[in-house]
Structure 1
Amino acid sequence: MRVKYVLSEVLVGLWRNVTMTIAMIITMAVSLTMLGASALLYLQANEMKDYYYANIEVAMFLKSDVNDEQRQALDQQLRSDDLVQDYQLETKDKALEKFQTLWRDTPDLVNSVSAEQLPESFRVKLKNPEQYEDFAVKYRDAEGVDEVLDQRELLEKVFGILNSVQTMSLIAAIVMAIAALMLVGNTIQVAAYSKRREVAVMKLVGASNWFIQAPFVLEAVAAGVIGALLGFGILVLGKVFLIDGALQDLTNLLTPLSWDNVLLMLPFMAGAGALVSAVTAWTTLRFYLRV
């Protein structure tokens, strides 16, 4: 009987303040969407770091006037180097093929570059990428070597941008969460005020605080969960139509966004929405019931 009463009061409360309920749901949906997006971006950035750092190479560019003797000496040194896991020589022709593939969408640029304009290089994969400095010290001043370049320097710039975007989305989520908290609190106050006589009678007859608070708290939790479901739906649509659709060509350098990570956001967002709404409603009612 008590459960039936509480649930019926939840439905009545949601319908009684339908406009504020809709506003609360929309605000929670936007806030939780931003929170879920920032969490996905965090997971994706970590996966990208693990993937690219595991496949990272050191490019050892050779001088334009390098001779066969210098090239063979470098090859033998790399073959016996304990720091090196694998390596291969990228000739001028191979460099041109890679350049043409990379810039195939700009034919004018491709046609203006010849193999002789590109440097030869050894593409080296280290056993431990963290030992790049030790490797660079060995080969930076070797005969025939023009430059030793670690791809991590380029990747760190990319990850720096991703981290900035992640931080901005998290800040936006926090701002929206504060707005959602204020709206939840106001909605609960209005609902409690509209039932002030009923609440007063229930207190006079000895009803416990939790029994009085339960409909209001569950009303806020329901709105939070519905908002989380809407936010999760937005993330799913974003993956289907943006990440895997319109922006697929722009994101081909990124590691794929897995459905496992997307589905992980459902319990995360629902739990966050329910918890935040419940705590806010309970805190608001604690002040109200002290009057």
Structure 2
Amino acid sequence: MRAKYVMSEVFLGLWRNISMTVAMIITMAVSLTMLGAALLLYNQVDVIEEYYQTNLEVVIYLDRDVSEEMTTQIDSELKSHPLVEQVQFESQDQAWERFQETFEESPDLVASVDAEVLPPAFRIKMKDIDDAEELIGEFADREGVYQATNQKEILQQVFDILGGAQRLTLIIALVQGVAALMLVANTIQVAAYSRRREVAIMKLVGAPNWFVQAPFVMEAVFAGVIGALFAFGTLVAAKIFVIDGQFQNLFSLMPPVEWNSVLLLLPILAAIAAVISAVTAWITLRFNIRV
């Protein structure tokens, strides 16, 4: 009987303040969407770093007119070098094929590049990519070498951009979270005021605090969980239509965002929404419903 009464009061209270309930759900959904995106991005940055740490290479580009004898000598020295795990020579024709495969979605770019411009190169997998600078220092100024690059330095700029986006998303989520908390508190205050006579009668007949406060707390929790469901739906839609859909080619050079990471957000966001809403509502009620 008590549970039935509490639930009926919950839905009645939500309906009485429908406009504020909708506003609370929307605000909670926006803040949780940003938080979920930040958590997903945080995890994906770690996945990307781990993926590329095991696939990063040092690339030594040769002069286009380098002699076969010099190429053979550099190849021999690289293969016997103690810091090198694997060496792969890439001719101009192979470099052109790689370029075409990489930019197959941009035919205008491919058409504007002459195959003769691309130099032959050695692609070197290091035993430890952190030793790349030592190897580059030994070969960068060698005869026949045009340029030596460390892919880790190039990708570090990408990691820095992703890290900045990650921090920005967290900041926005925190700001939205504060707005959601204030809206939850305000909604509970309005609900408590509108039912002040009912609350007073229940207190006069000896109803315990938890029984009086339960409908208000459940209202906040219900709205918070609904907001979490909307946030999760938004993230799923982003995965389907953005990451795996319209901008699939943009993310093709990075490890995919796994569905397990997305699905894991549902219980996380629902739990965060429920706990924050319940705690905010309870603290608010402490100042509005007195024994």
| Fold shared by both chains (TM-score > 0.5) | yes
Question: Following TM superposition, by how much is the alpha carbon of 1:105 offset from its aligned partner in structure 2, in angstroms?
Answer: 4.9
Q: Evaluate the alpha carbon distance shift between residue 186 and residue 113 of structure 1 in structure 2; reply closer, same or farther with a 3 A threshold.
A: closer
Q: Sort the Cα spacing of 1:106 and 1:214 in 2 relative to 1 into closer, same or farther, 3 A.
A: closer
Instruction: After TM superposition, list the pairs within 5 Å mapping 1:94-173 onto structure 2.
Output: 94-107=94-107, 109-173=109-173
Shift of the 111–277 alpha-carbon distance from structure 1 to 2, 3 Å rule, reads: closer
Aligned mates of 2:122, 2:212 — CA distance in 1? 74
Q: Is 1:229 paired with 2:229?
A: yes
2:268 aligns with 268
Deviation at 1:241, TM superposition (A): 1.7
Q: Quote the Cα distance in structure 1 between the aligned partners of 2:112 and 2:265.
A: 48
Contact 2:86/2:126 (<8 A) preserved: yes
Amino acid at match of 2:85: Q
Residue 35 in structure 1 maps to residue 42 in structure 2: no
Mark the CA change 1:246 to 1:145 in structure 2 (over 3 Å): closer, same or farther.
same
Q: What are the superposed Cα offsets for residues 66-123 of structure 1, whole Å, 9 maximum, x if unpaired?
A: 3233222211111112211111111122112222333445555544544432222110
Deviation at 1:3, TM superposition (A): 2.1
SS of the residue corresponding to residue 190 of structure 1 reads: helix
- Give the letter for the 1:41 counterpart: L
Q: Secondary structure at the match of 1:88?
A: strand
1:29 counterpart SS class: helix
- The one-letter code of the counterpart of 1:179 is A
1:202-217 matches, within 5 Å, as 202-217=202-217
Count matched residues: 291
Q: 2:62, 2:144 within 8 Å by CA — same for their partners in 1?
A: yes
Percent identity between matched residues is: 56
Give yes or no for contact 2:133–2:150 (8 Å, CA) kept in 1. no
User: Kindly tell me: are residues 21 and 107 of structure 1, through their superposed partners in 2, closer, same or farther at Cα, counting changes over 3 Å?
Assistant: closer
C-alpha distance in structure 1 between counterparts of 2:86 and 2:241, whole Å: 40
Q: How far 1:134 moved relative to its partner? A: 2.2
Q: What amino acid sits opposite 1:92 in the alignment?
A: Q
Deviations 1:9-48 (A, max 9, x none): 2122112211211111111111111111111111112111
Query: Using the alignment, how far apart are the partners of 1:106 and 1:15 within structure 2?
Result: 54
One-letter amino acid matched to 2:289:
L
Alignment gaps of 5+ in structure 2: none
* SS across alignment from 1:288: coil
Amino acid at match of 2:144: G
Matches of 1:286 and 1:215, distance apart in 2: 14
Aligned to 2:195: 195
User: What residue is the counterpart of 2:252 in the other structure?
Assistant: 252
Give secondary structure in 1 for the equivalent of 2:152. Answer: helix
Classify 1:112/1:282 alpha carbon distance in 2 versus 1 (closer, same or farther; 3 Å).
closer
Question: Cα distance, 1:65 vs. partner?
Answer: 4.2
The 5 A counterparts of 1:43-62 are 43-62=43-62
Return the alpha-carbon distance in structure 2 between the equivalents of residues 242 and 106 of structure 1. 19
Distance 1:247 1:103, change over 3 A: closer
* TM-score, with structure 2 as normaliser: 0.93
Query: Matches of 2:114 and 2:259 in 1, distance apart?
Result: 43
What do you get for the CA RMSD once the two structures are aligned?
Answer: 1.9
Q: Deviations over 1:163-216 (max 9, x none)?
A: 222222222211211111111111100110111122223223333222221111
Residues 159-168 or 64-73, more deviating: 64-73
